[in-house]
Amino acid sequence: MKTEIAGLSIVVTGGARGIGLATVERLARSGARVAIGDLDADLAASAAREVAGRTGATVLSARLDVTDAASWSTFLAEVAEVGPVDVLVNNAGIMPLGSLLKEDAAITDAIIDVNVHGVINGTKAVGPGMADRGRGHIVNVASAVGRVAVPNGATYSASKFAVVGFSEATRAELGPQGIDVSLVLPTVVLTELASGVPAARGVKPVTADDVAEVIEATIRKPKAETWVPRYSQTIVKSANLMPRRLKEGMARLMKADSVLADADQSARAAYEERIRRG
């Protein structure tokens, strides 16, 4: 059964840029009331004004630190005008790259806090209201490396594996209460987060709007798991049926095992610096 987006109250975390902003735009154009949560309150406010101006939709924003449960409470109170949350898109995430053995402890903590605790905190913040109403939908934006681990992003990959496991567990737990839980797993996306990261051979990079389109489709018709691009899931499933040595050989052939190690560090410098400051 399809869900009509018009009139829904939807929260998008990390909604001031990249995939989050593209998602806000699409949902607003479809008639949803959207609340942007982002650590950068000024950028979120600007994004909300611009999207509302282009679409005529209700688009609100407030500062949100997804790692802090108290910040979630404050955020939801500040955007209460959109109404009880029908859909939560847990999109906020960070992706510092590099050798695990050289990774600063503060960066390790930040990756886990934003990418894992952020999703858990969001679910716990909106889940009780959804359960009380007997309906709701939580869409967790993970990553292909939440299913396929690659070097030079070990902590990031671990965080996305955690989101995959959390999503599968909460889907089973919350489903009987009327709450759908969906996973969206993009490959390399042409956003600041993935700046300088090459795509694997045979897998074209996707745009933020490509991912937003899948998120919108997932809200309309909930699915447990959707990859972006969709055909990449077939490649991974086929590889997982192979013996390990053959699977590893295929990864080398596609250069899937080196996409993070081969990232252009000069192209990533501004993003990595912003993450370290944040």
Burial of 53 (0-12, 13-18, 19+ CB in 10 A): exposed
Which residues face 232 on adjacent strands? none
Please identify every residue annotated as catalytic.
Answer: 156
Note the maximum CA span of the chain.
55
d(CA 24, CA 73): 21
The answer to whether residues 250 and 235 touch, using CB atoms and an 8 Å cutoff, is: no
d(CA 245, CA 66): 40
Number of H helices, E strands in the chain: 10, 7
Q: Say which amino acid occupies 241.
A: L
Q: Is 204 helix (H, G, I), strand (E, B) or coil?
A: coil
